[in-house]
Structure 1
Amino acid sequence: MNSVVAFVVVMLVWTVSDFVAKKTKSLLSSLFVASIIFLIGFLTNVFPDDLLASSSLLALAGVVVGFIIVHLGTMISLDDFKKQWRTLLVGIAAVVGIAVFLLVAGLVFGGGVQPGEYGEVAAQPLDFVIAGVGAISGGTISVIIIQEAALGVGLTTVAIFPVLIVALQGLIGFPLTSVILRREASRVKAQVRPGELSVDEAEEAATASTSRLPDAFRTTAGTLFVVGVVVLAAIGINNLTDGVLNTFVVALIFGIALRTTGIFKPSVLAGIDSLGLMMIAILILVFGPLATVELSDLASLAVPLLLAFVCGLAGIAVFAAVTGKLVGYSVSMSIAIGLTALFGFPGTMILSQEAARGAGESPEEVAAIEGQILPKMIVAGFSTVTITSVIVTSIIAGHIGR
């Protein structure tokens, strides 16, 4: 597909999605609307499979995702990060809940895909349980781990299963989380107005301060250079530790540390000319898997998919809500934290910002609400998708085909 045409089409889809989100006050999130448009477009062949790749945005996203992670780190103060130990516990509990409920479903319903359609050996219920846990709670890395294990023992269907989950889970996770975060945002707004939360503190946290960088590194090019060096350092640590210290986790920590020391200003990329395009490129990563969905695969795996999502969501809701209650979080915030397992970053940021804008009636209220929700959701996405899921999936993937 022509690159310029592809780029224009993607921008049109995002323009429509953003318009709908604003008109519905984020009841229909822009991510959900865009997901629906792309899914229908790919299934009906209105959009060619190479639409996203041809737009060059996927390639750009692969380069700048680390930059945005560092930027997110500079949006969170060290004090905020220290306070998020409860968020980490709730996120871990959500992943455990997914595993427990899917295991119970596998034991109760049994069955499995038999040999025939893909010419493979029979897949057992536990194979789909493991694939479902890794896919629902994780992202690309977890799916790759599952696929390698499944293909290694000849289970093609099990290898396809997590890809379909990843492709579809945003369609479920985005609207659910949007509704729940709107409820949480309304609860926070009710605290802001009587003065329980300080709007001044929220504004101060959102206000950019001067950094220690020389003026030459405060331009668009200079800022991108410095942040790029930080990303390269994060990649180097990832490689030295064989992925034990994940690139994005290290980049987030670097961002927090550099803001705390005053080297980077809060929201380090804010104000540079390229931030908007970088964010759109990152968002396109969310829709990439939709181009791989086939109706035949959906039909053959419809029952396992339905069970995986129903039981996975039940596990998230129960375990996250109970754990959140124990550590002092509201039920709505706890479940929203758990639901980040379905999408992770950048959905965690976009949905938080949309919920704040939908509930707040002034810039001060929006800042105060976002200040309460956004740090939790950012840390939640890393605790579920980037950390816990990868660890859990790495442990259980070896049991596929046994």
Structure 2
Amino acid sequence: MSQMLALVIIVFILFIGDFIAVRTKAWVPSIFIAAILFLLGYWTFFPTEIVATAGVPPVVATMMMYLLITNMGTLLSLDELKQQWKTVVIALSGILGAIVILLSIGTLLFGIETVIVAIPPLVGGLVSALIMSEGAADAGLVSLSVFAIVVYVMQGFAGYPLTSLMLKKEGKRLLGLYRNGNLAKKEMAATAETVEPEETELKLFKNLPGKYNTSYFKFFRLAVVSYLAYLVSTLLEPVVSISPLVLCLIFGVVAAHVGFLEKQVLQKANGFGLAMLVLMLYILDGLKNATPSMMMDIIFILIGSIVLGVAGMYVFSFIAGKILKVSKEMAFAVSLTALYGFPADYIITNEVIHSLSDDEEEREILTSHMLPPMLVGGFVTVTIVSVVLAGVLVEFL
């Protein structure tokens, strides 16, 4: 198979996944469709190395992962997190609940290695799944390497309908309060900042004319920060083992704060879409080791892990919500953002709001109360905590 034919086939598969996700309003995740088609391809006519043949070898994916995680760090605004501190506490409680239940009951049922691999993809996104998949493969645990990817692929099927159900209940409660005159509109600053992060001044380059801040200069600064994270990780290796990807996240936060990087620098360098394409293809490449018998072997572990994880999220978010005086529906919805993150949290919340009322003023009320915590929850769980968690747990494989 030629390189360009391989590229056409695998990118077309990603497009099919996106198309179906749009048609079903995200109820069927694009990654699920893509994974099914990749599996069918590997079981029929795909060459084993079709992704590498298309031009995405592991070394390219690793480069993109460094850049993407450093870019993630630039999105973190401490002011946003302060405004939504209750949301942050509830989101962290949900993740803690999933960890506690899986490490206790899950370990008894499935074994410690399986649980360690399952936790980060279950409470995180693409990057954490990739970290655990690579870690399991490096440790010689081929089936668990595939398992990490399958968890990531399937988690949305638990998260989407449950979140929609919780938000509909919360929305109806809020509408009842509003129609009785007991609810006012909240400020939307947190929402606006989360969806469209404001420009961060490049303090260290304030005298640089804008015409010199080219895409290459953005990539250069992003690469420098990523390299510093890698360098510090190697220097610390004799003392303490810290994943360079975790340090990329931290260094990205610091670099944005001091004005070395702007927010969303990868998007502004016109590289985000390509980086995501590379990582999506690379994670789907991990399915080449998934035989039909292996998939049958892990299906029960997969379902059990998701059920236990979601149950833990519910119990701990319920307790946190009670203490912080947040409704159990809103608390559970916030904790469920760990299963999908942005932009699914934004899409689901907006679709629920539009399904509950045709009145623009009522929609604004619902948006002001429901959207900010959902966005911040997804950002905390998927962007920050899951990457750190994966970096820590991968060392135990």
Instruction: Indicate conservation of the 8 Å contact 2:215/2:270, yes or no.
Output: yes
Instruction: Indicate conservation of the 8 Å contact 2:80/2:190, yes or no.
Output: no
Moved more, 177-186 or 319-328: 177-186
How far off its partner does 1:195 sit? 5.4
Structure 2: gaps of 5 or more residues: 121-128, 322-329, 355-359
Deviation by residue 1:36-56 (Cα, 9 ceiling, x = unmatched)? 22122222x232221212222
Task: Report whether the alignment pairs 1:42 with 2:45.
Answer: no
Deviation by residue 1:312-355 (Cα, 9 ceiling, x = unmatched)? 22321222211112222612322442x4xxxxxxx644544553
Give 1:113's aligned residue.
none
From 89, 92, 95, the equivalent of 1:88 is 92
Give 1:7's aligned residue.
7
How far off its partner does 1:371 sit? 4.7
Instruction: Indicate conservation of the 8 Å contact 1:348/1:378, yes or no.
Output: yes
1:270 aligned counterpart, secondary structure: helix
Give 2:154's aligned residue.
172
Give 1:70's aligned residue.
70
- The within-5 A match list for 1:322-401 is 322-328=315-321, 330-337=331-338, 339=339, 348-352=341-345, 354-355=347-348, 358-359=351-352, 371-381=372-382, 385-388=386-389, 391=392, 394=395
Q: Percent sequence identity over matched residues?
A: 18
Cα-Cα RMSD: 3.5
Shift in CA distance, 146/226, structure 1 to aligned 2, threshold 3 Å: closer
Instruction: Indicate conservation of the 8 Å contact 1:143/1:162, yes or no.
Output: yes
In structure 1, give the amino acid aligned to 2:113. A
Deviation by residue 1:198-251 (Cα, 9 ceiling, x = unmatched)? 334422442432522333563211111111111111111222222733222222
Deviation by residue 1:105-148 (Cα, 9 ceiling, x = unmatched)? 3xxxxxxxxxxxxxxxxxxxxxx512311221244554566567
Shift in CA distance, 57/371, structure 1 to aligned 2, threshold 3 Å: farther
In structure 2, give the amino acid aligned to 1:247. P
Q: Distance in 2 between matches of 1:285 and 1:369?
A: 35
Moved more, 253-262 or 283-292: 253-262
Give 1:320's aligned residue.
313
Give 2:289's aligned residue.
292
Shift in CA distance, 326/311, structure 1 to aligned 2, threshold 3 Å: same
Q: Distance in 2 between matches of 1:27 and 1:148?
A: 34
TM-score by length of 1: 0.74
- The within-5 A match list for 1:212-291 is 212=202, 213=205, 214=208, 215=210, 218-242=213-237, 244-291=241-288
TM-score by length of 2: 0.75
Shift in CA distance, 249/23, structure 1 to aligned 2, threshold 3 Å: same
Deviation by residue 1:54-86 (Cα, 9 ceiling, x = unmatched)? 222354332121222122222221134564354
Question: How many residues are treated as equivalent by the alignment?
Answer: 353
1:269 aligned counterpart, secondary structure: helix
The runs of at least 4 consecutive aligned structure 1 residues that moved more than 6 Å come to 187-194, 364-370
Q: Distance in 1 between matches of 2:65 and 2:304?
A: 31
How far off its partner does 1:369 sit? 6.5
Task: Report whether the alignment pairs 1:311 with 2:304.
Answer: yes
Moved more, 385-394 or 284-293: 385-394
Instruction: Indicate conservation of the 8 Å contact 1:185/1:373, yes or no.
Output: no
Instruction: Indicate conservation of the 8 Å contact 1:76/1:375, yes or no.
Output: no
Instruction: Indicate conservation of the 8 Å contact 1:208/1:265, yes or no.
Output: no
In structure 2, give the amino acid aligned to 1:48. P
Give 1:99's aligned residue.
103
Give 1:199's aligned residue.
188
In structure 1, give the amino acid aligned to 2:104. V
Instruction: Indicate conservation of the 8 Å contact 1:132/1:161, yes or no.
Output: no
2:261 aligned counterpart, secondary structure: coil
Structure 1: gaps of 5 or more residues: 106-127, 152-158, 340-346, 398-402
Q: Distance in 2 between matches of 1:130 and 1:269?
A: 37
Instruction: Indicate conservation of the 8 Å contact 2:90/2:334, yes or no.
Output: no
